[in-house]
Every structure is written in structure tokens, then in C-alpha cells.
A = this chain, B = another copy of it.
Amino acid sequence: MLEVRDLECVRGDHRLFSGLSFCLQEGELLYLRGSNGSGKTSLLRTLCGLLEPAEGEVLWRGQDIRRQRDEFNAELTYLGHLNGVKGELTAFENLRLNCALAGSAVSPQTIYEALERIGLGGREDLPTQVLSQGQKRRVALARLLLSRATLWVLDEPFTALDVGAVEQLAGLIEAHLQKGGMAVFTTHQLVEIGAGAVQEVNLDRVAA
């Protein structure tokens, strides 16, 4: 369903990788590995259509993602190095507006529940800028609880999370895969995620 053909990525003068191809089916997990600076973030951003590939293409259900942006985006959730959370708004407001922007109506009840589950109970109505590093990250993660997207693209989602939160997120990804979702993620930490089929791509081993 998500297919990458002969992808090449160039940043500045460096060619990070080239000739990268893989194909991800429903219920599959792609674990992206690589040392610092090997191009993981660049690849994930390319998969989302934020970066234009220097060569090659990214296909979603057989069609180039850049030709069907709105349809593709409707099925995608991306979590980057940055949280994409507004510090002036409370956690609750952030989530409510995120949902509305995606065009889906979600009841306040559901949002409060999501925040409760992700461990932000009692902090829903503080401006997120006063939250701790890990709490901010959790607000961003709460989006996953509310998302109905098929494809999750997660760039080091475990950063700043404490042990409990790491386990919870791993469980979340597992549940998503079991429901037939797909996920692409990268992390430098050791995390166990049980999934039917796990593919691994190590960018340190892909030709530059």
C-alpha cells in the first residue's frame, strides 16, 4: 500500500541514500534504523510528502502521493522532532483545534478521555508551555489516540517519555497494527513492539 521506489535523498551537497525501495502492507511495521545524521528524518519527511525526493517516488495505494495530497493526508498522521503543539493553548484546546482542522468533529468528552489516558489528567487546562518536556510530548502523542489515520509516521516518538509512557505508546502502536494500520518509526532507544510483520531498513547500510 505504501510503496517506495528507487528513492534518492540529497541534502545540501550530501547524497544521504539512493536506490531505496520497500513496500509496506496493512498491519505491517517498518522500523527505520541508522546512526545520527544518516537521513532518517529526511526519509520520513519524504514519505509524508514534505520533502521532494531527488529521484524516485513514493506511492500510496499505487499513486504518487504528491498527486493526491488531500486523500493521502486524510490517511496519514505524522509526528516529527517538533511537537506541533501551541504553547499558548491548553492541551485540550490544542487537540480540539487539531481535530477540527482535520475536518472531523470530536466531542470534548472524547478529548478529555484521551488526555486522561495519556497521563495528562489534571493538566488539561494549563497552557502547554508550562508543561515539562515529556508532558509536551504527550500532548502531541494524544493525537494518535484520536487519529483515524491508516499510516502513522513517527520520528523518535519515545524521546522525553518516561518508562510508563514508553510502554503505553508501544501498546498503542501494537493495537493500531492489529486493527490493520501501518506504522513507520525510528528510535535510538530499545523498545519492544509486538507486531505481525516487522520490516527493518537500516540507512547505514543503504548505498549513498
Residues of B with C-beta under 8 A to A188:
134, 160-163, 166
Q: Which of A49-57, A64-72, A124-132, A173-181 contacts B (4 or more CB under 8 A)?
A: A124-132
What separation, in Å, do the CA atoms of A167 and B133 have in the docked complex?
A: 23
- Which residues of A156-206 have CB atoms within 8 Å of chain B's CB atoms? 156, 159-166, 188-190
Chain B minimum-CB-distance residue to A135: B37
Number of copies: 2
Q: Is A36's CB under 8 angstroms from B132's CB?
A: yes
Which parts of A1-54 form the interface with B (CB within 8 Å)? 11-12, 34-41
Whether A134 touches B166, Cβ cut-off 8 Å, given contacts A159-B159, A160-B188, is: no
The reply to whether B35 and A164 form a contact with Cβ atoms under 8 Å apart is: yes
Residue of B137, B156, B164 touching A133 (CB-CB under 8 A): B156
- Contacting B at CB under 8 A, from A106-122, are 119
A36-B81 CB under 8 A given contacts A41-B133, A190-B190: no
Number of interface residues of A (CB under 8 A): 34
A126, B160: Cβ atoms closer than 8 Å: no
A57 to B117, CA, bound (A): 37
- The answer to the question of A148 belonging to the interface, with a C-beta cut-off of 8 Å to chain B, is no
Cα-based distance from A166 to B166 in the complex (angstroms) = 19
A96 is an interface residue with CB less than 8 A from chain B: no
Residues of B within 8 A of A164 (CB): 35
| Residues from chain B with Cβ under 8 Å of A190 in the complex | 190
A interface with B by C-beta (< 8 Å): 11-12, 34-41, 81, 119, 123, 126, 130-135, 137-138, 156, 159-166, 188-190
The 7 closest A-B pairs by CB, nearest first: A36-B134, A37-B132, A35-B162, A36-B162, A37-B135, A162-B188, A81-B133
